[in-house]
């Protein structure tokens, strides 16, 4: 063994120990969750998190390490730990544990797409148990759950650059399934091409329509290049890989570049550097959200054709101390100029204030349906990602 190989073997050993220590930490976190389940009234201790990060940053400085990078690593470790505690406290129906479909999750696209990455991120430590089923459309992914082929579907619902994804809202209205979770994924668009491709020689760039919109400024700098829409970013990357044409490129993720053996021609080409997509997890399995978990309630309702009817409904929520985090309107099918309102509220269905507010809303609204109550990722208390 030469000197370089010896150092690499030593490094592999260090990496194995790091992973084993991470496993030990998560096992300890699971034990803490049991203690909390027996009497503590909180799940997350923000003060302790801050003290831990300060301590870690100080220790990094003592060791001559980059304190910012070390702190970022521990933020991710804390996020993993929080999700592990939530999973321990999240009471799922027993049928979910025994059903074959419980280990299958459907998404639109294929491996390497952002939906695939969001599904993997959401299921976290359970991802090794899950079978991920790529489908050609949002509707097909949802149909897999409705038919019992899959236990879950993961669909994008809004993006910080392109806004709401209306198709997902329409599908939520039409299905009897409910929302059982949400996930945030930071989108880092890259331009991918064959080995030896050059940006100046490209004739065609392919990607999902949303990705093309999100990279409008970059594309405007290359006016002679055709833009071609694909079902998903990973499918575009696969087409470039299989096509063998160095004048074609795709906008997709770094993960897609690895999967399809493509070269990254340009990184982070989205108009906004803070480009995030929110996904919802849809299922027929019911969950019971522990009141210590920061939660969100999603509703859809219609209002009467009275002046100020919507404002009155929203005031009911405010009167009961509920914070509105999202309001989206969609046309009512076959009824021009009438609208469905999709609302996200911070809170749990188990609180008295939520129950009273919903009871009053039902009296005011011709139609109201609770789409789900689930652990939050976009609220101040529920956030585990740095936005």
Write 326-329 long-range contacts (CB < 8 A, 24+). Answer: 326/158, 328/164, 328/169
Residue 201 is encoded by which pair of tokens? 């020689």
Determine the Cα angle at 226 with ends 220 and 227, to 5°: 75
Assess whether 218 carries a catalytic annotation: no
**Residue-wise DSSP of 237-290:** HHHHHHH--TTEEEEE-HHHHHHHT-EEEES--SS-SS-EEEEEEEESS-EE--
Identified catalytic residue from 161, 168, 277, 303: 277
* CA-to-CA separations, 8 to 11, 16, 81, 128, in angstroms, rounded: 5, 12, 30, 27
CB count in 10 Å sphere of residue 87: 16
Identified catalytic residue from 138, 260, 279, 301: 279
Spatial neighbors of 298 by CB under 8 A, at least 6 apart, are 179, 280, 342, 343, 344, 345, 370, 371, 372, 373, 374
The number of residues making up the chain comes to 387
Enter the DSSP assignment of 223.
T
Alpha helices, H only, 190-253: 209-214, 216-220, 233-243
3-37 helix and 67-89 helix, angle to the nearest 10 degrees: 40
Residue 353 is encoded by which pair of tokens? 């204030």
* CA-to-CA separations, 369 to 146, 169, 173, 284, in angstroms, rounded: 18, 13, 9, 15
Assess whether 277 carries a catalytic annotation: yes
Catalytic residues: 277, 279
């Amino acid at each position: 063994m030469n000197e370089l190989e010896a150092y690499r073997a030593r490094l592999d050993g260090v990496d194995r120990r790091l992973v084993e220590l991470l496993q030990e930490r998560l096992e300890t976190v699971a034990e803490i969750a049991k203690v909390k389940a027996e009497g503590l009234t909180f799940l997350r201790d923000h003060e302790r998190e801050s003290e831990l990060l300060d301590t870690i940053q100080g220790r990094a400085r003592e060791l001559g390490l980059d304190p910012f990078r070390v702190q970022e690593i521990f933020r991710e470790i804390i996020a993993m730990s929080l999700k592990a505690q939530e999973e321990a406290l999240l009471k799922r129906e027993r049928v979910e544990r025994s059903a074959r479909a419980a280990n299958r999750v459907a998404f639109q696209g294929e491996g390497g797409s952002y939906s695939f990455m969001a599904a993997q991120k959401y299921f976290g430590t359970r991802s090794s148990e899950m079978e991920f089923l790529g489908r050609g459309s949002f509707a097909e992914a949802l149909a897999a759950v409705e038919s019992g082929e899959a236990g879950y579907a993961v669909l994008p619902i809004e993006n910080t650059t392109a806004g709401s994804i209306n198709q997902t809202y329409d599908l939520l209205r039409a299905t009897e399934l409910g929302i059982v979770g949400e996930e945030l994924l930071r989108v880092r668009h890259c331009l991918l091409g064959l080995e030896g491709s050059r940006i100046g020689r490209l004739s065609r760039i392919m990607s999902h329509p949303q990705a093309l919109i999100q990279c409008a400024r970059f594309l405007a700098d290359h006016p002679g290049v055709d833009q071609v829409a694909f079902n998903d970013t990973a499918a575009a990357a696969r087409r470039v890989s299989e096509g063998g044409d160095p004048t074609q490129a795709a906008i997709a993720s770094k993960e897609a570049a690895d999967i399809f053996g493509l070269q990254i021609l340009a990184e982070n080409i989205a108009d906004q550097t803070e480009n995030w997509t929110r996904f919802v997890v849809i299922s027929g399995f019911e969950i019971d959200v522990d009141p210590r978990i920061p939660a969100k309630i999603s509703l859809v309702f219609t209002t009467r054709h009275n002046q100020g009817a919507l404002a009155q409904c929203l005031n009911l929520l405010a009167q009961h101390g509920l914070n509105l985090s999202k309001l989206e309107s969609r046309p009512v099918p076959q009824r021009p100029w009438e609208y469905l309102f999709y609302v996200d509220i911070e809170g749990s269905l188990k609180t008295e204030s939520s129950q009273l507010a919903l009871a009053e809303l039902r009296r005011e609204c011709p139609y109201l349906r609770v789409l789900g109550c689930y652990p939050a990722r976009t609220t101040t208390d529920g956030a585990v990602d740095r936005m």
